[in-house]
């Protein structure tokens, strides 16, 4: 294969490491210890080679532009003493072997944690580009020099041909240090994952990697991921943040999820976060925290839509458009009187098919299923099953609307593995 008349070829890092670099007369210059690549590029180009000099026995860095790869031999042309310098990285550069080989990465296409066994490069236009990471057993055998004998045995004994298991660099998110997360965050690779997949990945990591990945996310993504994460790990992640950052993330979560998390935190940490929050949100949180978690008051959210009976359909739709982003529930809206007693309920579908000038009182369903604020989870689950609804309003002893329980929130208490 050729591009612009120049042949392309692929080679692995394992084939380069330890290789001898010779000068144009064939004299040994040194041996390759590592390659330097700029991972801010879509496919990182190799910028330098790290080598141990043959005579001086010291480690230096040499520009890749000085090196030619010809028939498997590395040749350095027109070398001057000043071409060799002390190893140093510029912005975006990494020692590829040191940073990636045998390290964990996220395969953002398959949403899995993988171990890097080798790196594959493309040689084109006299440059070398990192294009794949090898995460397969074949790559491990190649590194230790057992690729051919092991391949022969697999073919003879099992009639099986081993192949490379490669992941394109564009789907790789390195994890080995906070610097790697920051350097590649411009590609927003982690942001392409579903929050539930990202939560699974975070749960697989050790505590230091977990914290580094979480800190690399923007506030919205961090909040969505936190909602999908095991409660014990939620606490660990928030404990590692300062009060202001923790508050910003928790404010982006649904009220019921956020209240559950605050309830699991040490008291001083929870109180510090509440002090950093907007007053209205903090007040809602304190209301939810005042109820036991497994009763209706502890399961409900106060972030839902309610309207007076005289409000017209067109007005209600405008309100939904402006406030939906901050609501935990928009599919149902509740009609209440001046004292917050429930008069009726409507679905979003009811609004969409009604005429804009119609009053909500004319189309609401007055057969409202509700539960008391002290109702236990088992009875609430029975009501969800019996009536086939997605949310149930919660009322106090005077039948005033206090909140709404989402089916998802109940599921997280009744069957945690299904709810998250």
Helix boundaries (H) for 265-406:
267-276, 279-289, 296-299, 313-323, 348-353, 360-363, 377-387
Task: Give the chain's length.
Answer: 420
For position 4, what pLDDT does the model report? 44
Assess contact for 111 and 201: CB atoms under 8 A. Answer: yes
Domains of the chain, CATH where assigned: 1-184 (2.30.30.240), 194-290 (1.25.60.10), 305-419 (3.10.580.10)
For position 180, what pLDDT does the model report? 66
**How many C-beta neighbours within 10 Å does residue 264 have?**
14
| Residue 46 to residue 55: CA distance in whole angstroms | 25
Walk along the chain (420 residues) in steps of 10 and give the mean pLDDT of each run.
55 89 86 91 90 86 87 80 87 89 87 89 87 81 61 54 77 76 59 86 86 87 91 92 93 87 90 90 85 81 92 94 87 94 94 94 94 89 89 91 87 58
| pTM, full prediction | 0.66
* CA atoms lying within 13 Å on the CB side of residue 7: 5
For position 298, what pLDDT does the model report? 83
Distant-in-sequence, close-in-space partners of 266: CB < 8 Å, separation ≥ 6: 239
Assess contact for 72 and 134: CB atoms under 8 A. Answer: no
* CA atoms lying within 13 Å on the CB side of residue 180: 21
Tokens of 24: 């144009």
């Amino acid at each position: 294969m050729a591009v612009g008349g120049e042949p392309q070829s692929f080679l692995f890092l394992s084939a380069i490491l330890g290789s001898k670099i010779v000068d144009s007369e064939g004299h040994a210059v040194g041996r390759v210890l590592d390659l330097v690549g700029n991972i801010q590029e879509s496919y990182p180009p190799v910028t330098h080679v790290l080598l141990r000099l043959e005579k001086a026995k010291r480690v230096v860095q040499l520009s890749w532009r000085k090196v030619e790869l010809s028939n498997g031999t590395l040749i350095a042309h027109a070398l001057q003493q000043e071409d060799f310098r002390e190893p140093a990285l510029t912005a975006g550069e990494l020692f590829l072997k040191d940073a990636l080989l045998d390290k964990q990465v996220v395969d953002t296409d398959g949403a899995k944690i993988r171990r890097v066994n080798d790196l594959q490069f493309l040689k084109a236009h006299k440059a070398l580009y990192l294009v794949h990471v090898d995460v397969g057993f074949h790559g491990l055998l190649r590194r230790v020099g057992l690729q051919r004998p092991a391949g022969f045995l697999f073919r003879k004994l099992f009639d099986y041909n081993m192949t490379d298991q490669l992941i394109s660099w564009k789907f790789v998110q390195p994890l080995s240090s906070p610097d790697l997360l920051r350097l590649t965050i411009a590609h927003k690779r982690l942001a392409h994952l579903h929050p539930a997949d990202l939560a699974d990945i975070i749960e697989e990591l050790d505590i230091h990697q977990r914290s580094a990945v979480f800190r690399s996310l923007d506030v919205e993504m961090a909040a969505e991921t936190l909602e999908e994460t095991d409660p014990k790990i939620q606490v660990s992640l928030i404990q590692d943040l300062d009060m202001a950052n923790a508050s910003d993330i928790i404010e982006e979560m649904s009220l019921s999820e956020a209240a559950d998390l605050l309830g699991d935190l040490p008291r001083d940490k929870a109180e510090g976060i509440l002090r950093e929050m907007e007053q209205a949100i903090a007040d809602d949180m304190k209301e939810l925290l005042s109820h036991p978690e497994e009763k209706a008051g502890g399961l409900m959210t106060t972030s839902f839509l309610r309207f007076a009976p005289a409000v017209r359909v067109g007005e209600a739709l405008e309100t939904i458009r402006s406030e939906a982003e901050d609501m935990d529930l928009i599919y149902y809206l509740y009609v209440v009187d001046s004292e917050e007693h429930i008069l009726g309920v409507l679905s979003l579908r009811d609004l969409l098919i009604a005429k804009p000038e119609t009053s909500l009182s004319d189309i609401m369903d007055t057969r409202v299923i509700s539960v008391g604020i002290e109702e236990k989870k088992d009875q609430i689950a029975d009501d969800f099953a019996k009536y086939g609804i997605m949310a149930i309003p919660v009322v106090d002893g005077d039948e005033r609307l206090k909140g709404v329980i989402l089916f998802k929130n109940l599921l997280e208490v009744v069957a945690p593995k299904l709810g998250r």
